[in-house]
Structure 1
Amino acid sequence: MEFLNVDAHTSLQLYHTNDAQAFFELLHKNKAHLRPWINWVDAINSLQDAQQLISARIKSFEDQESISLFIVQDQKIIGSIGMFNWRKEIKCAEVGYWMDKDFENKGILSKALNVLISYLFQQVQLNKIELQFNAQNKASGAIAKKFNFKIEGIIRSNYAINGTLEDSVLAGLLYAEWKQMKTI
């Protein structure tokens, strides 16, 4: 898999080292916007940091541990989406995503997530997809609801954001639920 088409202008493309500059610039532009929700954004402070992160994600893909994809619209990187925490023995993995603030609320992320979910259930043959998000992140809560993820619980003090322990919501979508939703 090199890429997945989302629509005529948008695709999901595997991370490549030659995308480091564009990734770094996009992340730098959106740092303040992403900081409340993503705990690793402040670790990317240079092009070298971006290259190292991309290289680590590529290796993780090659080792069949995760899938990291750029959301690309008209050949411009506008975000990232992927699968990680893959527990093969129970056919379960977590998805995560982030978007350039200038491209939010346009339906792009929903379309990208729909394509990724379909790929993960049909090609990777997962039985369950999980989504964890900060309990204060209303946008991710809306995404979970839109895709019929079931809230499975609150994980208290689950991760640190800006030196503060934050709760996260754990939501899950089973293959059978997704398949039923697709036939309605």
Structure 2
Amino acid sequence: MFIHKIDDELSLKLIDIRDSERIFHLTEQSRAYLRQWLPWLDQTTELEHTKGFIKGCVTAFAEEKSMNTVILYNDEAVGIAGYNVLDWNNKVGHIGYWLAKDFQGNGIMTRVAKALTDYAFDELRLNKVEIRAAVNNQRSRSIPERLGYVKEGEIRQAEWLYDHYVDHVIYGVLVSEWKEERNNLKKR
């Protein structure tokens, strides 16, 4: 089983079917909060829907198309993060994430996104990592901004969110930029 330890509090575990009940429970607990920015909440109303999602994740991982992990905070599952898309032709990973409402404000997602960026460059040998977020989703946008990603642009009406479209901001970081920033931090 793949487990990537980030620090004493945080790890990423490759998602599997045994995570279904906990992930569905987290979804239920944070439904209203998550629904503000994620388009799949109305289609995830039963445990079987979460199981279907996880089965799809397992298949996509086996086909090397994506890699979704469960975020473990003090050994408790608190959300999902990973590469929604692994574009091997262009060597680009697209990070996506969500965190249960009760675990917000602990720096969890910034540490997770940093670890996923490190992993993308050090282990997967990608050239670029992207994170997309709705223009008005300031909490999600602050993560790539905090990590030094470059705002590359906006996509108008990028996603249908229940009853309206939302624009997305695209952030990206290149392996050369990421390594340069890590080297500068070591010199300080």
**Global fold match (TM > 0.5):** yes
Equivalent positions of 1:11-90 (< 5 A) are 11-90=11-90
Instruction: Verify the 8 A CA contact 1:2 1:13 in the aligned structure 2.
Output: yes
Which string of whole-angstrom CA distances, capped at 9 and with x for unpartnered residues, describes residues 84-115 of structure 1?
22221110121011111111111111111111
Query: Which whole-Å CA distance do the structure 1 matches of 2:168 and 2:21 have between them?
Result: 31
In structure 2, what residue type is equivalent to 1:174?
A: L
Long gaps (5+) in structure 2: none
Identity %: 28
RMSD in angstroms over aligned alpha carbons? 1.1
Query: Which whole-Å CA distance do the structure 2 matches of 1:27 and 1:93 have between them?
Result: 25
TM-score, with length taken from structure 1: 0.96
In structure 2, what residue type is equivalent to 1:168?
A: H
- Runs of 4+ residues deviating >4 angstroms: none
Aligned residue pairs, count: 184
Residue 180 of structure 1: aligned partner: 180
Query: Which whole-Å CA distance do the structure 2 matches of 1:121 and 1:103 have between them?
Result: 27
Query: Which whole-Å CA distance do the structure 2 matches of 1:61 and 1:94 have between them?
Result: 14
Instruction: Verify the 8 A CA contact 2:91 2:128 in the aligned structure 1.
Output: yes
TM-score, with length taken from structure 2: 0.94
Residue 148 of structure 2: aligned partner: 148
Residue 136 of structure 1: aligned partner: 136
Instruction: Verify the 8 A CA contact 2:113 2:143 in the aligned structure 1.
Output: no
SS at match of 1:90: coil
Long gaps (5+) in structure 1: none
Which string of whole-angstrom CA distances, capped at 9 and with x for unpartnered residues, describes residues 23-60 of structure 1?
10001111111112111122111011111100001110
Which string of whole-angstrom CA distances, capped at 9 and with x for unpartnered residues, describes residues 103-154 of structure 1?
1111111111111111111100110001110000011221121111111111
SS at match of 1:89: coil
In structure 2, what residue type is equivalent to 1:22?
A: R
